[in-house]
């Protein structure tokens, strides 16, 4: 990947973000649309986590990553600090991969 390509992709990304601001401007978005837009980041990150946890390429797998994510989800549900959630998930994954 060349620097020209990186800069071009960055410019395209900024242009896409600015397009919404230019088209919508100062107009108010309906409350229903605003609520839906607020849910998009959580849905996207959840989809990425699930995809990366249960697939390798085009194959579905159930390996140590699933146990690590399950442990981290349980820790997050029990309201553990973020650092503890990450460390617990990584530790479970590493231990199961070593076994």
Per-residue pLDDT for 34 more than 90?
no
Across 31-40, average pLDDT: 87
Question: Are 89 and 75 spatial neighbours (Cβ–Cβ below 8 Å)?
Answer: yes
What are the structural domain ranges in the chain? 31-98
pLDDT surpassing 80 at residue 79: yes
From 65, 63, 64, 61, select the one nearest 49 (Cα to Cα). 65
60-87 average pLDDT score: 94
Q: Is the pTM of this model over 0.85?
A: no
- Using CA atoms in the order 92, 55, 39, 71, what is the torsion angle rounded to 10 degrees? -10
Can you give the pLDDT at residue 1? Answer: 67
For residues 91 and 97, give the distance between their C-alpha atoms in angstroms, rounded to a whole number.
10
75 and 84 in contact (C-beta within 8 Å)?
yes
The larger pLDDT score, comparing residue 89 to residue 25, is at: 89
Supply the pLDDT for residue 97. Answer: 94
Q: What are the φ and ψ backbone dihedral angles of 59, each rounded to 5 degrees?
A: -100, 140
């Amino acid at each position: 990947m060349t620097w020209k390509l990186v800069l071009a992709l960055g410019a395209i990304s900024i242009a896409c973000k600015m397009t919404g601001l230019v088209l919508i401007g100062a107009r108010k978005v309906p409350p229903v649309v605003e609520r839906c837009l607020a849910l998009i980041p959580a849905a996207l990150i959840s989809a990425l986590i699930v995809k990366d946890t249960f697939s390798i390429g085009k194959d579905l797998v159930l390996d140590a990553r699933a146990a690590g994510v399950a442990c981290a989800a349980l820790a997050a549900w029990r309201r553990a600090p973020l650092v503890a959630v990450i460390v617990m998930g990584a530790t479970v994954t590493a231990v199961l991969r070593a076994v």
